[in-house]
Structure 1
Amino acid sequence: MKNLTLAAVAALAFGAGSAQATDIEFWYGNTGPVETAIKAQCDAFNAAQSAHHINCVGQGSYEVSMQKAIAAYRAKNHPVLIQFFDAGTLDLMLSDAVEPVQDLMPDVKWDSYIAGARAYYETSKGKLFAQPYNSSTLLFYTNKTELEKAGIMQTPTTWEEVIDAARTLKAAGHACPFVTDGDTWRILEQFSARHGLPIATKHNGYDGLDAEYVINTTFAAKHLANLVEWRNEGLVRLAADTKAGNYTAAFNAGECAMMEQSSGSYAAAAKAFDGKYELTVTMAPMYKGYERHNTFVGGASIYVMKGHDKAEIEAAKAFLDFLRKPEQQMFFTANTGYVPVTTDVLDAIAESDEADSPKYATAKVGVESMNQPATPDTRGIRLGFYVQFREVFMEETQKAFAGQQTMQVALDNTKKRGDQLLRRFEQTYKGKQLP
């Protein structure tokens, strides 16, 4: 009897242990409304089942999350899931720290992801390394109320029209017609992509680690020089020029009338405009004479890190499955402005009663922008130490905006320093093949 009792207790103990949820961590870098939406999805996943439990831990920014993940991996106390942003893609692919998600989950219909979302995170053979998550792209935001007050009845679609509108706004007394923060992603990467311009040789690094930057010789150099001239004319403002000191906040407060910004900023803008102004979002402007190409996907994707047991990997896969569900993608789009990334969700939105609802305003235009004709130079950016390159670009171009050097000198310096980073990266991974 005693043995039976012990056996029963052991069985109960084993059963209780096996029923306990596998606990894993997911690190992310967002704040504000996006963080609120991420936490809501984590809570919903935990409430929907009992086999797994996910702890979602905010790190404050993409860059901080990346640095902490690298340190944690070296110390062998890293999370199972990590959200990495677009600029860190190549570094992570060659790090040997992650499991390609398509290898872990071969039965998922990965071809349902739109091309614009896949290209940045897939190998040369078309295999996804990470699951696209908070996917965004660049859009053109306008305060329709302020434009119409100045007599501008049509949303500008070209840079020529944007500057004509800016001059009209300035003449009408508007102190901030167009605002930007001069960020690399907005004024260089997305501009180059939609105008079909390379950022570096080897198709932006996709064809080899021996790429070199060409940003000082493409039409992007002319556009950046134009931004300096337009700022001097009072048509373009930088974040530091605004009362808010932040360009998105300046637009949301009605201080500035036009801006280029991520689709992920839509929710905050719509909330700020509610009852005060009418908000319009369209594809980012083009220069006349250039064929429109796809914009890059922005935001981030989710990677599965190596060094975890089978139960933890199964929990990670379950969470990724949960995030792919149409209702979860629709929730995330409606609450953040990030665009859905699979065709079934786009179809579901189009067929719903809320297809024309403002909460899905970025879905149609964002996907349309990413699905424009592609070229080998518009797949994405696969350049080493690219996070550091972005910092170099900002440092040099801000000097040009401040009048300390010409924009051409700034770009020449950026190319030189950027190429030095590429050579260091090439040496670091000497003999390695690009995935």
Structure 2
Amino acid sequence: MNTCRSVPDSAKVAYVLKRYPRYSETFVVSEILAHEAAGLDLQIFALYPPLDGHFQDIIAQVRSRVTYLFAYDLTGIALWTQFNDASRILPNFWQKLEVAQAEEVNHVYRAVQLACIVRQQGFTHLHAHFATSATIVARLASYFAEIPYSFTTHAKDIFHNSVIPTKYQQLLNDADAVVTVSDYNLNYLQQTYGSAASRVQRIYNGLDLQRFLFAAPYPRNPKILAVGRLIEKKGFAVLIEACKILVDRRISFTCDIIGTGEEEANLQRQILQSGVQDQVKLLGPRPQGELVQHVQSAAMLVAPCVVGRDSNQDGLPTVLLEAMALGTPCISTDVAGIPEVVRHEKTGLSVPQHDAISLADAIAHLLQNSKFGVQLATQARQLIEQEFDIHRNAAQLRTLFRAAISVNPIVT
């Protein structure tokens, strides 16, 4: 869908997100803050307002303007009025509209809104997160406004049963650049989509390491910490099962699980039925500032991720990166890209998914070998500094943006 364009003097980037802000998507906020620190002219466009009742404190640091692309009225008259207005702003709009005939009307409506805004305000690039509705809207807006677009694809948008391969391939084909967040994802995409995925690049999510200062885990209280949405793929049911095994072995510990989600009632029921309510607590969501304190007071962070029954899985959980940066030893599983950061007996401990006995063994090993935990934590911090610095990784993204703009400049 690319068209001929002229080169702009400077980059002006529109970040397209399904919902903003979101409690669980701190990696997007960190990326935006890194762009802002580098002086990138950036604005956020969200398809929907937030639903979360809690937000991470770093959201308040974002300076970029946020615009919501509402679809209030999708009746024929409203659409016709919007399309008539758009035809005066967007070149050859009526001819281009055919490309949207198979799309949901709310996506088309928002894409036309976005295209008009970016065309009128001189944006030079669109970047979306997740290969779902945000990228569908970015793709259409890119075509209507004649500016390039790119997207970052993560995990659920790659592996979930709801992914439609032909639709995903269309997004890959039309994007001027595509990023994914692990080598595991990259290999999967290239094997699954062949030449359509030949231009996908791996750029890890990152952290602002000035905000995550290392503290070596010299003997701490025997507290296990787990953080994440309370959903199947996080594997917290396996962790509770492992805690039951530890109690039966008469090992002293506590386990705090931070987060909220649809599995909360089931997990609380499992805690009570297992008789581990004195050891295991569900603490609900916590702001990131408080979360840092929880992480650095724990003997370990456990992320017992699994592949869900719907094929949903974590790509590379941000909480692992944060804990490793902060100096807390980590235990996780062999799911997706996790082994790229939790390297067994080097930067953490890895166990098979769904294996409560192996998880209990790994937890017990760290509880009983604090010097080993210090060694793992030190080596993990080194890896984070080498591969997961958000300022370095966001600079790689901006290089992609500039390359896409130079190849596909704007028509004037």
Q: Which has the higher helix share?
A: 1
Q: Does TM, scored on the shorter chain, surpass 0.5? A: no
Provide TM-score, normalisation by structure 2: 0.35
Provide TM-score, normalisation by structure 1: 0.33
Between 1 and 2, higher relative CO (CA 8 Å, sep ≥ 6) is seen in 1
